[in-house]
């Protein structure tokens, strides 16, 4: 029960994009089409979950040696290496998945949502399983947000009523703000 609550909170109430404002770059960058947004979301799901699983024991190691200040740099290094390995693995095992994830895998090596989740999970220090569920929740939140955004943007693109000055990025940012307000409603549950 508690795990479900952790998952839901991470996915909705504390949505990584819309209430923590992490990972905004891919959120705005690759949300033009539904298919690319789905690719990005799934790639982020992979990387966040696996990297949290790896960085959790590393964090334990860092606290043991009393060098917590190295956390950021070591996490970045591990995540970057991990993404490389995952990419090679997917390329070998599943050509179709590799082609559909395509460029998005390397793109998220230094995504702040990935690092942010790993650091949050490490700081909270609430057990391995709970951290994993938290990471899965965060990435599910990312997937949901980017998919909604892509769906909205596909519609906005052809809307003729938008004033010239608002077309493109400005109206996208306004939409993102409105979505953030909507997601704020989850915080009250």
Check binding of 184 to other proteins (CB under 8 A). Answer: no
Establish if 161 lies at the interface with other proteins (CB under 8 A).
no
Site string for other proteins, 48-67 (x = CB under 8 A): ----------x--xx--xxx
**Is 127 among the residues that bind other proteins (CB under 8 A)?**
no
Q: Least distance in Å: CB of 168 to other proteins?
A: 14
2 or 161: whose CB is closer to other proteins? 161
* Contact pick of 8, 78, 147, 180 for other proteins (by CB under 8 A): 78
Contact track, other proteins, 83-112, x by CB under 8 A: -xx--xx-xxx-------------------
The string of DSSP codes covering the chain is -HHHHHHHIIIIIT-TTTTT--SHHHHHHS-SSHHHHHHHHHHHHHHHHHHHHHHHHHHHHHHHTT-GGGHHHHHHHHHHHHHHHHHHHHHHH-HHHHHHHTTHHHHTTT-HHHHHHHHHHHHH---HHHHHHHHHHHHHHHHHHHHHHHHHHHHHTT-TTS-GGGTTHHHHHHHHHHHHHHHHGGGG-
# binding residues, other proteins (CB under 8 A): 22
Residue 165 in the binding site for other proteins (CB under 8 A) = no
Query: Which residues of the chain form contacts with other proteins (CB under 8 A)?
Result: 58, 61-62, 65-67, 69-70, 73-74, 77-78, 80-81, 84-85, 88-89, 91-93, 160
């Amino acid at each position: 029960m508690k795990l479900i609550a952790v998952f839901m909170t991470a996915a909705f109430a504390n949505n990584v994009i819309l209430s923590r404002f992490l990972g905004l770059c891919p959120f705005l960058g690759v949300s033009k089409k539904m298919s690319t947004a789905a690719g990005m979301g799934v790639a982020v799901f992979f990387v966040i979950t696996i990297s949290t699983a790896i960085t959790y024991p590393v964090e334990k190691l860092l606290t043991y040696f009393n060098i917590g200040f190295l956390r950021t740099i070591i996490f970045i290094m591990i995540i970057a290496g991990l993404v490389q390995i995952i990419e090679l693995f997917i390329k070998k095992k599943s050509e179709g998945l590799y082609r559909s994830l395509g460029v998005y895998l390397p793109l998220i090596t230094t995504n702040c949502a990935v690092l942010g989740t790993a650091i949050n999970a490490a700081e909270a220090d609430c057990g391995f399983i709970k951290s994993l569920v938290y990471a899965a929740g965060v990435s599910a939140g990312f997937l949901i947000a980017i998919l909604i955004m892509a769906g909205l943007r596909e519609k906005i693109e052809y809307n003729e009523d938008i004033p010239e000055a608002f077309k493109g990025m400005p109206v996208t940012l306004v939409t993102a703000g409105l979505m953030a307000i909507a997601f704020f409603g989850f915080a009250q549950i």
